[in-house]
Every structure is written in C-alpha cells, then in structure tokens.
Amino acid sequence: MKFISEVEDLPRQKKYYQSFSGRESDFYSLKPGSAYATRTIDNLGFDECLDRVSTYFNPLSGPYFLEGSKCGDVLAITVLDIRITRNVGLSSQGILPEFINEKYSQPVVGEEVVCWQITGDRGIPVSQSDTGLNLLSVRQELMIGCIRCSDPVGKGEGLSSIDADEYGGNVDCTFFKKGATLFLPVAHDNAFFYMGDIHFNQCVGEVGGSGIEVSGEIVFSVDKCSQPLHSCLHINVGGFVYFMGVNEDFNASVRLAYGYAFEALLGNGVAESVARLLLGHCASLHVMKLGVPNVVVVGVESAFFIKK
C-alpha cells in the first residue's frame, strides 16, 4: 500500500445520492495520486449523531471526479483507511425469510432495527428484553458496501444505490477494506464515482439483509491504471487478487468470476493448463451477497500475476 503523508479533508456533503448518476453538477475534483478523506452516513441515512439526514437507502457520498478518465479505462482506488464516526451500529433483526425454512422465517417489513454497542474492536447487540444477546459479539471488520462509477448521462438516473452490476454498486464486498486497491471500470468518458455504506461487520452472503451499519470516514487515493490485470472490477489486497462476478443467477455469477480470473492469468502469460489447475484446486471462492443479484469473488495469489 502506498504511503501518503498529507490527506485533504473534503468538504461535508451538501446532499447525498440514491443513484450512480452522471448528471450531477456539484462534484469533488480529485488529483491523481493525492489522498482524500470523505465522510459517509449509514444505509438508513443516519449520521454520526444518529440524526437522519437522508431518506434514501444506501445514500452515497460524492460524486468524485478524476479528470481525463475515459470509457474503458480502469481507476485504481486505494483504501488508505476506514474509520467509524460513532459507537452505535444498526442492523436488521436477523436472517431473511428466503434463506431459512418457511416454518422458521419471520417477515422483515416493519421490523425494528437492532442497535449494536461498539467498544474497541467488538460490537454487541443491545436489547432490553433478550438477555441472551450479551453472549453475541462480532469483530470489527470495516468495509465499504457501495462503490461504482456513474452511468452515461443519457442512461436515465443511473443504477440505484441498492443495486449492483458488473461495474460495481451495492456489491457488499468484504474485501473493499483498508489496504485494498479497487480496480474500478469506467462506464463513460469523464465519469464520476460514488461510494458509501460502511459496515462494521458483515456475515457471509449478507443473509441478514444488512451488515452492522455505521457512519464513517474513508481515506483514499485514486489514479488511472495504465495496465490493469483485467477490465472487470477486481481487488488487490492481502497478497491476493479477487475477481468479481455479478448476476441474478448464482451459477452464472460464479462462472463470470472464474472466467475473469482465467482471462487475467492467460493475459499475464500463465499457461492454460496451469491456469485451469490453479483455479480448480488453489483458488478461493467467496460469497459476498446472495439474492438479486448474487455477488461472488474468486481469489488468486498475487504472485501468479508478477511477470517473470
């Protein structure tokens, strides 16, 4: 991860956004390679004081603009740090009905939000009635739930902040964390990008319909990547490169992720027989989100992408 000594604090948001739109006239202009700090609110629109400042779901911060980015380019966004700005997290009541046998399912419409007390690197659910909740605890694993470049201006309002596609969006990827470099495909010339929806912690597949949602601050830098491993959305963190597949059909999302990894390996000079063996026995598969759409990532050790 690059070291940057100075960080510019971006002005607080005048408003938040519900889509990845390319129409906005008010944006943050960024310099390549410089570091910036920006604040986000939680998925229900509550800020660090638990005041509701937006009625959108997954309200987005931004938009951010890197001059000269063109359709087909890939932005390299390095997450230098993620910090929470309050000690209370919010979540759903539990597992969504579509992921458990019908006789055990509970409706989620209108349910109360669960509050989590955050102390240090642990979060504990708070309830006045269920005393057994004090046995539950989650570890801090901060991540960015939403990030994506804007859609072309002529494409309506742009993708909603609750949706995801091959360009990104609400993908809820646990690898969007401190130390990661996200390689974000640019959908059109001079594209904006947005981000938001910080999670204190998130279970596999986000089967509860939310993470432990918090307000926070993201410190990041951005530059154009001249030689990306692939034109798809991918992440480099912790000695691995992760390739993302997004599709309404789970098997299709898996095929996409493995396909992107395979193409990147071949493009880096790895023999086809080696790439097939590697993906079949040495790569890792991770489920980020189950539902519509499904989001999975395939991880390959970074060493396979260092050209000899």
Q: What is the CA radius of gyration of the chain?
A: 19
Indicate the helix (H) or strand (E) that contains 289: strand 284-289
**283 alpha-carbon distance from chain centroid:** 21
Where along the chain do the CATH 3.10.28.20 domains lie?
234-305
Determine the CATH number of domain 7-69+82-88+139-149+190-220.
Answer: 2.60.120.580
In order of 70, 138, 171, the CA distances from 74 in angstroms are 9, 34, 18
Burial 148-168 (b: 16+ CB within 10 A, else e): bbbbeeeeeebbebebbbbbb
Average confidence (pLDDT) per 10 residues, the chain, 308 residues: 72 94 88 95 97 96 89 94 98 92 85 93 82 82 97 77 96 98 88 94 94 98 94 97 98 98 97 98 98 97 84
Question: Residue 123 burial by CB count (10 A; 0-12/13-18/19+): exposed, middle or buried?
Answer: buried
User: What pLDDT is stored for residue 68 in this prediction?
Assistant: 80
pTM of the model: 0.93
Q: How far apart are CA 143 and CA 277, in angstroms?
A: 31
Contacts of 139 (CB under 8 A, 6+ apart): 121, 122, 123, 201
From the CB of residue 13, how many other CB atoms can be counted at a distance below 10 Å? 21
Residue type, 126: V
User: What pLDDT is stored for residue 243 in this prediction?
Assistant: 98
CATH level 2 (architecture), domain 234-305: Roll (3.10)
Extract the tokens encoding 303. Answer: 């060493």
User: What pLDDT is stored for residue 306 in this prediction?
Assistant: 80
Report which DSSP code applies to 158: -
- Would you say 114 and 93 are in contact if contact means Cβ atoms under 8 Å apart? yes
Question: Residue 204 burial by CB count (10 A; 0-12/13-18/19+): exposed, middle or buried?
Answer: exposed
Q: How far apart are CA 294 and CA 222, in angstroms?
A: 27
Where along the chain do the CATH 2.60.120.580 domains lie?
7-69+82-88+139-149+190-220
What are the E-state strand segments in 111-209? 114-119, 122-126, 138-139, 143-149, 164-165, 168-169, 181-185, 192-201
Q: How far apart are CA 208 and CA 110, in angstroms?
A: 15
User: What pLDDT is stored for residue 156 in this prediction?
Assistant: 67
What is the three-class DSSP state of 116?
A: strand
